[in-house]
Structure 1
Amino acid sequence: MLEMCARPLERCFGRGDGGGGDGLLWHMDLKSHASGDYSIAVVQANSMLEDQGQVFTSPSATYVGVYDGHGGPEASRFITRHLFPFLHKFTTEQGGLSAEVIKKAFDATEEEFLHLVKRSWSARPQIASVGSCCLVGVIAKDVLYVANLGDSRAVLGRRVSENRKNMLVVAERLSVDHNVGVEEVRKEVEALHPDDSHIVVFSRGVWRIKGIIQHLIHQAVSVTFPFVGFKINWRCLFEETGI
Structure 2
Amino acid sequence: MLGSLMNLLSLCFKPFGQICDNSGSGSVSGGEGKDGLLWFRDLGKYGYGDFSMAVVQANQVLEDQSQIESGDFGTFVGVYDGHGGPEAARYVCDNLFNHFRAISAETQGVVTTETIRRAFYATEEGFTSLVSDLWSTLPNMATVGTCCLVGVIYQNTLFVASLGDSRVVLGKKVGNTGGVAAIQLSNEHNVNNEETRQELKDLHPDDPQIVVLRHGVWRVKGIIQVSRSIGDLYMKHTEYNREPINPKFRLAEPVKRPLMSADPAMIVHPLQPSDSFLIFASDGLWEHLSNEKAVEIVQSSPRSGSAKRLIKAALHEAARKREMRYSDLRKIDKKVRRHFHDDITVIVLFFNHHHHHNNDNSFNPPPPLSLRSALQH
TM-score range, shorter chain: 0.7 to 0.9
Aligned counterparts of 1:156 and 1:194: Cα–Cα separation in 2: 36
In the other structure, the counterpart of 1:122 is: 136
Aligned counterparts of 2:19 and 2:262: Cα–Cα separation in 1: 25
Aligned counterparts of 1:147 and 1:71: Cα–Cα separation in 2: 22
Aligned counterparts of 2:29 and 2:232: Cα–Cα separation in 1: 30
| Structure 1 position 190, deviation (Å) | 3.7
Does the Cα contact within 8 Å between 2:228 and 2:261 map onto a contact in 1?
no
Uncovered stretches (5+) of structure 2, i.e. residues with no partner: 1-10, 22-27, 236-240, 242-253, 272-377
> SS state of the match for residue 225, structure 1?
helix
Does the Cα contact within 8 Å between 2:163 and 2:264 map onto a contact in 1?
yes
| Structure 1 position 42, deviation (Å) | 0.6
Does the Cα contact within 8 Å between 1:12 and 1:52 map onto a contact in 2?
no
Aligned counterparts of 1:65 and 1:104: Cα–Cα separation in 2: 16
| Structure 1 position 239, deviation (Å) | 0.9
In the other structure, the counterpart of 1:171 is: 182
Identity %: 44
Q: Establish whether residue 57 from structure 1 lines up as the match of residue 70 from structure 2.
A: yes
| Structure 1 position 70, deviation (Å) | 0.6
Q: Normalising by structure 2, what TM-score?
A: 0.57
| Structure 1 position 186, deviation (Å) | 3.0
Aligned counterparts of 1:123 and 1:60: Cα–Cα separation in 2: 39
Q: Which amino acid aligns with 1:76?
A: A
In the other structure, the counterpart of 1:238 is: 266
| Structure 1 position 158, deviation (Å) | 1.7
| Structure 1 position 214, deviation (Å) | 2.0
Aligned counterparts of 1:150 and 1:75: Cα–Cα separation in 2: 13
Matches within 5 A, 1:159-238: 159-160=173-174, 167-215=178-226, 218-225=227-234, 227=241, 228-229=254-255, 231=258, 232-238=260-266
Aligned counterparts of 1:195 and 1:142: Cα–Cα separation in 2: 44
Does the Cα contact within 8 Å between 1:110 and 1:223 map onto a contact in 2?
no
Does the Cα contact within 8 Å between 2:171 and 2:180 map onto a contact in 1?
yes
| Structure 1 position 153, deviation (Å) | 0.3
Q: Which amino acid aligns with 1:55?
A: I
Does the Cα contact within 8 Å between 2:228 and 2:262 map onto a contact in 1?
no
Q: Deviation per CA, 1:128-184: give whole Å up to 9, x if none.
A: 221110000011110001111100000111233657xxx432221110102333444
Q: Given the superposition, is the C-alpha separation of residues 87 and 21 from structure 1 closer, same or farther in structure 2, using an over 3 Å criterion?
A: closer
Q: Which amino acid aligns with 1:144?
A: L
Question: Which residue of the other structure, out of 88, 92, 101, is the alignment partner of 1:75?
Answer: 88
> SS state of the match for residue 211, structure 1?
coil
Question: Which residue of the other structure, out of 108, 112, 120, is the alignment partner of 1:98?
Answer: 112
Uncovered stretches (5+) of structure 1, i.e. residues with no partner: none
Provide the alpha-carbon RMSD of the alignment: 2.6
| Structure 1 position 241, deviation (Å) | 0.7
Question: Which residue of the other structure, out of 15, 24, 31, is the alignment partner of 1:7?
Answer: 15
In the other structure, the counterpart of 2:35 is: 22
Q: Which amino acid aligns with 1:140?
A: Y
Q: Given the superposition, is the C-alpha separation of residues 141 and 186 from structure 1 closer, same or farther in structure 2, using an over 3 Å criterion?
A: same
Q: Which amino acid aligns with 2:267?
A: E
Structure with bigger helix share is: 2
| Structure 1 position 199, deviation (Å) | 2.4
| Structure 1 position 40, deviation (Å) | 1.0
> SS state of the match for residue 229, structure 2?
coil
Q: Which moved more, 1:71-80 or 1:151-160?
A: 151-160
Q: Which amino acid aligns with 1:101?
A: T
Aligned counterparts of 1:170 and 1:188: Cα–Cα separation in 2: 29
Paired residues in the alignment total 234
